[in-house]
Amino acid sequence: MRAEDAEPVRVSLLGRVRAWRGDTELELGSAHRRALFAVLAMRAGWTVPREEIVNAVWGEAAPASAAGNVYTYVSDLRQALEPGHRRGRDRILASGGGGYRLQIDPADVDALRFEVLRDTARRHRAAGDARAERAALAEALRLWDQTPERRANGQGDIGPAPERSPAAQDNTDPTANATLDDGARREGNAGRDGNANPDGNASRDGDASRDSSASRDSSASRDSSASRDSSARVDSSARVGNGASHSGPAAVAFDGIPGPFAETQRLRLGELHLATLERHAALALADGEPETVIADLSGPAAEHPVREQMAALLMTAFERTGRRAEALALYRRVHDTLVEQTGTEPGAALRETYERIAGAQSRPPVPQQRRKRGDEPALVGREAELAVLRRAVADLAGGRGGLVWLEGEAGIGKTALLEQALRDAAGSGCQVGRGLGDELAQRVPLSVLAECLETEQGADPELRAAVETFRAGDDVGAVLERAAALVRRLCAAGPLVLAVDDMQWADDASVLGWHHLHRLVGSLPLLLVVATRPAPTRPRVGLLRTVLGEAGATVLAVGPLDVQRSAELVRSVAGARCGPELPVLAAELAAGNPRHVRAVVAAAARGEMLPIGDQAAPGVAAELTAAATAHLEPLTEEAREVMRAAAFLGDGTTAAELSAVTGRTPAALVYALTEVLAAGLLLDSPDDTLSFRHPLVRRVLHDGTPTAIREMLHRRYAEQLAGSAPVERVGAQLLAGPSELDGWSTRWLAEHLDELHERAPELAVALLRRATRDDATGAELRLDLAARLARLLLRTGGDPQAEAGWVAARADSADLRAEMRWIVAVAEHRRGDDEAAAGVLGRAMREPGVPARWQVRYAHLLGRIAAGRQPVRANAAVTRRVSPVSPA
């Protein structure tokens, strides 16, 4: 029977790595064999080079026998996959192109199917079809079902394959998602939730006994006590989807599989699973099914107690089912865990949820001022902005309304300024109402406006009725008139401040409501304040900014702190812990962003810090990941892909380089580049190169990627840049790649060395050292590269003696041996050891077969030594090339 006529092989990676043909499970063998199989399955239909397989399975701890082991594992897997295979037939596990390829349909791999379904859900979401989005998410979640009877017959792993999405059809390499995640960042960790931390410290010892209970939560460094016990997972009666049963605990992807690739995928897929659970729960809440949310999230929330978005959804579900005490208890547990494990308190979104629920039974008759926390951050360097806000509050207290628009990047301090202004307003006797935009609020029409106008006794009955009527399909105009009438009544009782934080997330109807209310500030004691990010901006929010600006709004662009004020903030936050090096580190990484400064201080306090300079970082602290994630949340997936690629290419990259490594045409990159430039994440220089506005964001994106994957991507990018980018850009990628150069890399270096040493001599030396210490480099090529390294070191003032001596002892060419002896003598003379130099020259001149031109060169150098003349200069000693020296 031909391979194409056989039943397809189905693969499960969401749990233990297993495979079936029909109803028969295939024996995949040892943990390392399964690890190799999983690497190929995650890239089904693609050829994976052998060196990438070695890196993926063993990483930095690869044994000397790794290449042979790969061959053995492949042979064993072929026997398991096709025990009766005949020569000449197509294989399921094929070889070619220096690697191996698993020839199966990606739709038959549950992990890839899961990502296809998530992409399908995103497309439904973009189209506004919430029901179809929820159905796709439910089907994706069912793939994680680990009930044994469903595993036995293949259900819960691989079901009927859905239509392949464009994202799946473009053969995008799954390893491109191995860094900060896409939708998991935006969907699962809104706000300051930093639990999506790539584990930069993932073990790479390849030990097959790796604990199969490795945490799916990428905040494992903050939540080391999270249990994998099934009692802490989703309850067996939990419902996922539109009434579908989720029967059993969720899986741990790549369970029990060793190696850095498996660890990366375990973290990445686990984070995607949690984000999918959260998104599905948000849709269930919008559909009026809080019981479903409680069933689906109770287990995961217990397992991941610092995941704030999940806690907020579960608290809301508890509230809507009348279980208010449980909602408040959940908040207290999250609060205490965060304080104990991270030294931080819950973010704004979770605090808002708590304050709404906690104050639901006893409120005065005016909109509530946000509760003052006992440890509000110091507003260092914001005196000018605060003075403007205080003038607006003073004018309001005097009976004059106004408009203020605060804008700035994530973490720049907009919320702190807003909170201080609201405290000042309340202290001046003003009424204060506040709303907060978030992704969940975007799906609920008028939610932000209604929250802003909610009184301490609850929502105004007439406004509530109007809102419900509007949500049922009535005209928005009636609601806005009710809102305006309520504002007039409140203003009749005293000056009123209404503020919205994170307006970029507000629902469109609430944005329209702000259009409506701004007309009242000229005749009422009403101050409207908006805080938002400058970009990317939805059209309605951009229009609102224009309208308010034309109406006389004060626009405050909150920018980064200068170095002096940044250091002041470091000292204020760190107190006695602040040493002289901490402000320097904060200045380099934080770039004046207060949230970044605080993240650096918090990470340094626990010793979890990225180093200064180009040293390799052992990992990325949770606070740093959270700070970087806040910038990436609003971006589209295309923009996040550009940011990931730019992080690996480094400052000085160009649109052409990004096009080469992402596979997108320059025209296709325009929108994504425009988005990240408008958001201020990348800066465009006059020479058309790009650099990161926030070094911290680049460090997290790059250093948060496990070493094996990071090196693999650098090596791939080098080859993709070759032929179009300057040689120093290709060389920099090779140097950041694997510690041993492969065949292509060594050949490229030999071909471009002359140009590279002219443009970047230090880089050329570093790569030559790497190539010449590798036994895998062919003997003849290694000898040639070592000779060229000796010439380059002589020319640049380095010490070439070891390399020149090594070549002289092995070269067959008398001319090359003579040249290397001359280089050793020149190096000794340059060091001031004329006796040693003369000894080298004397021995060299007595060797048989020394070419005459080198005898003349030796004699000339001996004459210089005897005359006590200064050492020869490097530029006079060799030509400007590192090709063989011409002894003129």
CA–CA separation, 17 and 334 (whole Å) = 33
- The Cα 287–Cα 320 span in angstroms is 12
- Within 78-205, strands assigned E span 93-96, 99-102
Band of pLDDT at residue 65, cut at 50, 70 and 90: confident
At 223, the pLDDT band (50, 70, 90 cuts) reads very low
* pLDDT band at residue 295 under the 50/70/90 scheme: very high
pLDDT of residue 879: 38
- pLDDT at residue 158 tops 50: no
Chain segment 83-109, per-residue pLDDT in tens: 866 554 567 888 876 789 999 998 999
Please name the residues in contact with 794: beta carbons below 8 A apart, sequence gap of 6 or more. Answer: 800, 804, 823, 826, 827, 874, 877, 878
CB 321 within 8 A of CB 288: no
3-state secondary structure of 93: strand
* pLDDT value of residue 781: 87
**Taking Cα atoms as reference points, which of 770, 731, 769 lies closest to residue 752?**
731
* Cβ contacts of 552 within 8 Å, gap of 6 or more: 403
What pLDDT was estimated at residue 663? 87
pLDDT band at 453 (very low <50, low <70, confident <90, very high): confident
pLDDT digits (tens, 9 = 90+) for 454-484: 754 445 666 666 666 666 566 778 788 888 8
pLDDT at residue 805 tops 80: yes
The residue ranking higher by pLDDT, 626 or 884, is: 626
Tens digit of each residue's pLDDT (9 = 90 or more) over 630-643: 788 778 888 889 99
Tell me the angle at which helices 779-796 and 761-772 cross, rounded to the nearest 10 degrees: 150
| DSSP one-letter string for 459-471 | S-HHHHHHHHHHH
Which helix (H) or strand (E) segment is 20 a member of?
strand 18-21
Q: What's the pTM?
A: 0.51
